Amino acid sequence: MNNDIVHPNNPRNGKALAGIVLLAIGAILLVKQFDFFFVPGWLFSWPMWLVGWGLFIGAKTNFHKPSSFLLILLGIVFLINENFDRADRIVWPIAIIGLGLWLILRRHSHFDKTQWNKDNKWGSAAYTPPVTEEPVVDYTITQDYTNMKEPVNPSASYKPTGDDYLDTVSVFGSVKKTVLSKHFKGGEIVNIFGGAELDFTQADIQGKVIIDITQIFGGVKMIVPPHWQVVPDIAAVFAGIEDKRMKSTAAVGSEKILVLKGVSIFAGVDVRSF
């Protein structure tokens, strides 16, 4: 069976967008050296890198992910704080109020499972059986199928539970959760000066699932079964992603693939297994 991950969008679009961003940065740096016109110094400050990174991620995801907005807002807050005297007395309270409003509005907007499945639909290449002109052996079986019953699909009677999707938010705190679902579908993790500890040892997945992680000054610890494949696809800024599981052949060729996406700034992701 083919376990190759196929992105729903053309990966060349992301590379082209990254190339455009690099061309723009290089052009601005070159123009600044020739003094053709005045380029403000704050344009090259480190908060602008957060804003630019947020715009880059937002352009790739059509601003459907909270990570792009958090990066842009955090960069603007640091930018104002550095360029205006005593601005921290106003900027940080406003930022905290805005964060509180975002959490309140996010709490009332329920997790859209249908949209999540649509935005994070992953597939695998279709298998095309070889075609020959004549069969080597005739396996034709003659049987009366008129009285046979239709096969029962075990997944048809399955009813989704609240444990199938993950939706955690941690702000100046920590979240500990044990996932028990045997049909885990993925979800979102948001950590702001907080952490999350997730135990998947009693859970099970079918095919490929995605967990979107957005964290700033936080951390995620995951305990997953050793036979799962873990594919990190996270943009890490002053952060690290470590898979501390023992190397095993059980995960090679496994159909159970956990994909980690998102942004991690001054934070880490730790993957372990018992």
Ordered by start, the domain boundaries in the chain are: 11-108, 162-272
Q: In this predicted structure, what is the pLDDT of residue 42?
A: 77
Could you read off the pLDDT of 83-120 as tens digits, one per residue? 887 777 888 888 888 777 777 776 555 555 555 555 55
Ramachandran area for residue 227 (φ above 0: left; ψ -120 to 50: alpha; else beta): alpha
Beginning with the edge strand found earlier in the chain, give each strand of the sheet holding 219-223 in spatial order: 174-178, 195-199, 219-223, 268-272, 240-243
pTM of the complete model beyond 0.75: no
Q: In this predicted structure, what is the pLDDT of residue 210?
A: 92
Q: In this predicted structure, what is the pLDDT of residue 265?
A: 82
Q: Which of 169, 245, 253, 260 is nearest to 209 (CA)?
A: 260
As to burial, measured by CB atoms within 10 angstroms (0-12 exposed, 13-18 middle, 19+ buried), residue 24 is: exposed
Distance CA 211, CA 37 (A): 45
How far is it between the farthest Cα atoms of the chain? 88
For 204, other C-beta atoms within 10 Å of its C-beta total: 14
Which residues, 6+ apart, have CB-to-CB distance to 166 below 8 Å?
Answer: 177, 179, 184, 186, 187, 188, 189, 198, 211
Distance CA 179, CA 186 (A): 11
Q: Which is it for strands 195-199 and 174-178: parallel, antiparallel or unpaired?
A: parallel
Low-confidence ranges of the chain (pLDDT < 50): 1-8, 11, 122-132, 136, 139, 145, 154, 156
Q: In this predicted structure, what is the pLDDT of residue 209?
A: 92
Q: In this predicted structure, what is the pLDDT of residue 5?
A: 45
What are the C-alpha distances in Å from 153 to residues 150, 185, 204, 227? 9, 19, 19, 26
Q: Which residues pair with 213 in a beta bridge?
A: 189, 262
